[in-house]
Amino acid sequence: MSEPAVHVLAFDVFGTVVDWRSSIIAEGQSLATAKGLSVDWAKFADAWRAGYGPAMERVRRGELPWTKLDALHRLILDQLLVRFGIEGLGEQEKVRLNRAWHRLRPWPDSVAGLERLRRRFVVTTLSNGNVALLTEMAKHAGLPWDCILSAELVRHYKPDPEVYRLVPELFDLRPEQVMMVAAHEADLQAAKQLGLRTAFVHRPLEYGPQTPVPSVPAGRFDYVAEDLVDLAARLGSIGRPGPR
């Protein structure tokens, strides 16, 4: 093969590695039982996630100073508590609910897939989630990352180029020795623009069973995989075992 070996796989996390929607729904239901609340938690989860793009855009435009994702989640949560008529939560309960994003559950294949991939590659997060969120999520979910990289470390949110450039810079690699792995086309397109290789992972249930996910035209990305175990099988031959 004339292409250089890929050394690092950089993963999007929300939706690609963890199932944020069903996890937030379950956290909400458990809170509702404890507090006697009646809320449509699927709508609540979707609204929380929908607030994420516009909140990051406020940071990108400079309308907010750099604000880590935990704090953006909290801004959105405070609005949703009003909108969904959720009353009677103390500050500690709100803090705990906001940290539901630290406790998201992996897709069923994620841990096994990462375990296989890390035998041949450095596997790192490259997420808009802040470092503490990603670190505590990994502990909670058993995600075997080699390293936690975050938009927070460059104070820019994806798809700003600063985030993708962090990986080749830290690892002294050419962009094509790094592969971005994500379930979202925009993330991969931004990585591809900068010369990184790309792997698309299908996550048809990310937005729930009722929301169809568009298919990806063949040839747009270097690899297309059904899940992370499938990705490990497809990438089996291009990685190098052991440190350089």
152 near its own copies, rule: CB under 8 A: yes
Of 37, 47, 112, 170, the one binding its own copies by CB under 8 A = 170
Residue 15 Rama label (left phi>0; alpha psi -120 to 50; beta)? left
Options 11-19, 39-47, 118-126, 212-220: segment touching its own copies (CB under 8 A)? 118-126
115 near its own copies, rule: CB under 8 A: no
105 near its own copies, rule: CB under 8 A: no
Closer to its own copies by CB, 140 or 202: give it.
Answer: 140
Q: How many angstroms separate the CA atoms of 7 and 221, rounded?
A: 18
Residue carrying the six token digits 């990603």: 134
Of 74, 94, 105, 118, the one binding its own copies by CB under 8 A = 118
174 near its own copies, rule: CB under 8 A: no
In sequence order, the 6+-apart residues with CB closer than 8 A to the CB of 171 are: 7, 8, 122, 177, 178
Closer to its own copies by CB, 3 or 169: give it.
Answer: 169
DSSP result, 151-198: GGGTT--TTSHHHHHHHHHHHT--GGGEEEEES-HHHHHHHHHTT-EE
Query: Both tokens of residue 104?
Result: 């998201």
Give residues in contact with its own copies (CB under 8 A): 70, 99, 102-103, 118, 122, 124, 130-132, 134-136, 138-140, 146-149, 152-153, 170-172, 242-244
